[in-house]
Amino acid sequence: MAINRWSREQLIVAFALYCQISFGKMHKSNPEIVKTAKLIGRTPSSLAMKLVNFASLDPAITKTGRKGLGNASVEDKKVWDEFHANWEQLALQSAKVAGTLSADTADTESDECEGKTVEMESYETGGKRAWVEVRTKQAFFRRAVISSYKSRCCMSGLDVPVLLIASHIVPWKVDRFNRLNPRNGLCLSALHDRAFDKGLITVTTDLRIKVSKTLKKYESGKFLTSSLVSLDGKDLLLPEKFFPNPDFLAYHVKSIFKG
């Protein structure tokens, strides 16, 4: 019997989806899997199985004892490596293949993307298409990071989606290559994102939260103490995928954190 092999385009869309949903939602009844399966001409069951195959390649998954299906193919591994080598290109390709790279689609996520990261120079020089691509890339990064942390702030535990931000560890403008790398992101509340961005709080390479002495000097009430200062020395709430890269954390500690 002939094997209905996955095309490269189908695998790209499948891996992009793997990046953007939590491990516990990788089942055939998930509406997003049903919708995506229809777009690429696969069944929901086969797409769900492919996502779990990708999980078997993910060190963040396997180190916890979860092994996925363990049936990842050579082609699966190739797409995995391609994404890790060029997140931006593959994120755009997956959107194009799925037919979701449009102004309307990009706008649905725009309000929840990090406005501070928008490449306005790309919009000015490349017109509307460049703007749509920027928004599409931002939406991918946001969904990948927030789903990895199961929609909760990794410092406070806040789980209100509209108050969560996919915060870059190494800023958007500093490292073009890792702009969409989920390992360059933390899921933070709006408050903690602002403090992190301003160097008032950081995460060390051993995944502990560190609060700046500058912040500790402020005379304030219980809110500052309970929401920020009290986090000093506490462990980060870990993601289920895409652990933060130690090199990125070291950069933030050295170059942004106001120790």
Q: What distance lies between CA 116 and its chain's CA centroid?
A: 16
Is 4 exposed, middle or buried (CB count within 10 Å of its CB: 0-12, 13-18, 19+)?
A: exposed
Q: State if pTM tops 0.75.
A: yes
pLDDT reported for residue 3: 53
The Cα–Cα gap between 223 and 131 comes to: 38
The Cα–Cα gap between 50 and 29 comes to: 14
CB neighbour list of residue 79: distance below 8 Å, 6 or more residues apart: 8, 11, 12, 15, 90
Q: Could you tell me where the beta strands, DSSP code E, fall in the chain?
A: 164-168, 185-189, 201-203, 209-211
pLDDT tens series, the chain, 259 aa = 345 889 999 999 999 999 999 988 999 999 999 999 998 999 999 999 999 999 888 888 777 666 555 677 899 999 999 999 999 888 888 888 877 544 444 444 444 444 444 444 444 445 566 667 788 888 999 999 999 999 999 999 999 999 999 999 999 889 888 989 999 999 999 999 999 999 999 999 999 999 999 888 876 678 888 899 999 999 999 999 899 999 999 999 999 999 8
Assess contact for 193 and 207: CB atoms under 8 A. Answer: no
The Cα–Cα gap between 56 and 208 comes to: 27
Assess contact for 175 and 208: CB atoms under 8 A. Answer: no
pLDDT reported for residue 128: 62
Neighbours of 37 (CB within 10 A): 23
In degrees, to the nearest 5, what angle opens at C-alpha 219 toward C-alphas 216 and 222?
85
The Cα–Cα gap between 88 and 94 comes to: 10
Q: Domain boundaries in the chain? A: 1-97, 161-255
